[in-house]
Amino acid sequence: MTRSGAITAIDTRLSTISDPAFVAVYRGEMLAVSGTPVLAFWIEGRRSTALTLSNAGSTTSFTIRSYFRLQSSADVREEVEEDLWDAMYAVDNALRADSNLNDNASDIRIGSATAGYATVGGVTFRTASTPLEVDILDDVTITP
């Protein structure tokens, strides 16, 4: 199990999503968006868990967010809402297909997806955000 392997596995799983067809999957929160829809994920935090005399586990929290460019056309806005809903399901399904992240995690927990809006580079996007928690047991070896 490795942390870099877990991140690569998340990236790989999210890259399998075909509906909606994301133009890219990015590691890290978006500072600029050139094409849409896109998917990004980043680390929110880490906490130690399952402490023993010889090792400690950890839970790392991620946010996975899809971005859809808003348009003034009513038809496009309706399509964005459909794609947003599809993205919520697709992220959940892609991650559940590999709950140990290619043997780089002990387990994952996928939280409830929420919809919202985000402004990136002066442009407003419709977003769907899904929290993900990644557990790695025996993450840190304790040596006396």
pLDDT tens for 62-95 read 999 999 988 766 655 678 889 999 999 999 999 9
CATH of residue 25's domain is 3.30.2000.30
Question: Whose CA is closest to 101, among 113, 111, 109?
Answer: 109
Task: Give the chain's domain count.
Answer: 1
Q: How confident is the model at residue 81, as a pLDDT?
A: 87
Max Cα–Cα distance, the chain, nearest Å: 64
Strands (E), the chain: 24-27, 38-49, 55-69, 107-110, 114-120, 123-141
Mean of the per-residue pLDDT values of the chain: 88
For the chain, which ranges sit under pLDDT 70?
1, 72-77, 141, 144
Range of the domain at 9: 3-141
Residue located via tokens 């490795």: 2
pTM of the predicted structure, to 2 decimals: 0.87
